[in-house]
Amino acid sequence: MSGTYPTTPIFSTIGFRSVNYNLSSQSVSGRTQVRNIGGQRFEFSAQYTRMTRSEFAPILVFTMAQRGSAETFTIVLPQISSKSGDASGTILVNGAADIGATTVGVDGVTGTLKAGDMVKFANHSKVYMLTADRAGNGNISIQPALRVAVPNDNAVTFDSVPFTVRLNNDVQEFNLGSASLVDYEIDMIEAV
């Protein structure tokens, strides 16, 4: 792991994708069969507004240090990582949850966790999305299913959730326009 992505300047737009892995086949008659082979990850395309070379320098230095897709790093995407509910407190797993579970018991919740928000368990590099609101203590519903079991009293991050990612390709390029202004877009994929 090679650090945390620079927080300034901020992204102007973020393209957010959830990628699931399926095998499918279609017959001549049009019948389609789909089989989920497991696995899910998030991908991001982030763009900046036009910036000066000095504003761009910390981003360029950081991305160069990644050696293409060889390294992983953490990033907090304010548009995605921030909670939309009013939940507060120290949220902990209440009882263990096994690999493959889509509900996890939690306690320590004051307020409401909202569907669409992200959560991360302390013993995971994977981030999960809430699929239903949760007011107070009880079971949270998540997708995808747990990749790793979570033990009792495992901490749950529910605001400023850090994603562990890598660059989505080995080529990074930027456009240098008139007046030495830089246009830059970066593609990242969750490293799980």
Question: What's the CATH code of the domain at 105?
Answer: 2.40.30.290
Instruction: Give the residue-averaged pLDDT of 58-86.
Output: 93
Same domain, 65 and 18: yes
Same domain, 17 and 87: no
- pLDDT tier for residue 35 given thresholds of 50, 70 and 90: confident
Please name the residues in contact with 30: beta carbons below 8 A apart, sequence gap of 6 or more.
none
Number of structural domains the chain divides into = 2
Instruction: Please say if the pLDDT value at position 83 is more than 80.
Output: yes
Instruction: Please say if the pLDDT value at position 177 is more than 80.
Output: no
Note down the domain range covering 39: 1-24+32-78+163-192
Of the ranges 66-80, 138-152, 164-178, which one carries the lowest mean pLDDT score? 164-178
Same domain, 88 and 38: no
Average pLDDT score over the chain: 93
Same domain, 93 and 118: yes
Same domain, 13 and 66: yes
Instruction: Give the residue-averaged pLDDT of 55-77.
Output: 94
Instruction: Please say if the pLDDT value at position 86 is more than 90.
Output: yes
Length of the chain in terms of residues written? 192
Same domain, 42 and 1: yes
* pLDDT tens per residue across span 9-25: 999 999 999 998 888 89
Same domain, 168 and 153: no
Instruction: Please say if the pLDDT value at position 38 is more than 80.
Output: no
How far is 131 from 84, CA to CA, in rounded Å?
13
Give the global pTM.
Answer: 0.88
How far is 73 from 29, CA to CA, in rounded Å?
47
Tell the burial category of 140 from Cβ atoms under 10 Å away from its Cβ (0-12, 13-18, 19+): buried
Same domain, 20 and 88: no
Same domain, 102 and 171: no
Tokens encoding 191: 């490293």
For residue 19, give the CATH number of its domain. Answer: 3.30.200.190
Instruction: Please say if the pLDDT value at position 117 is more than 80.
Output: yes
How far is 141 from 155, CA to CA, in rounded Å?
16
CB atoms within 10 A of CB 143: 12
Q: What is the pLDDT of residue 60?
A: 92
Q: What is the pLDDT of residue 180?
A: 80
Q: What is the pLDDT of residue 173?
A: 82
How far is 110 from 129, CA to CA, in rounded Å?
19
Helices (H), 30-185: 53-65, 78-81
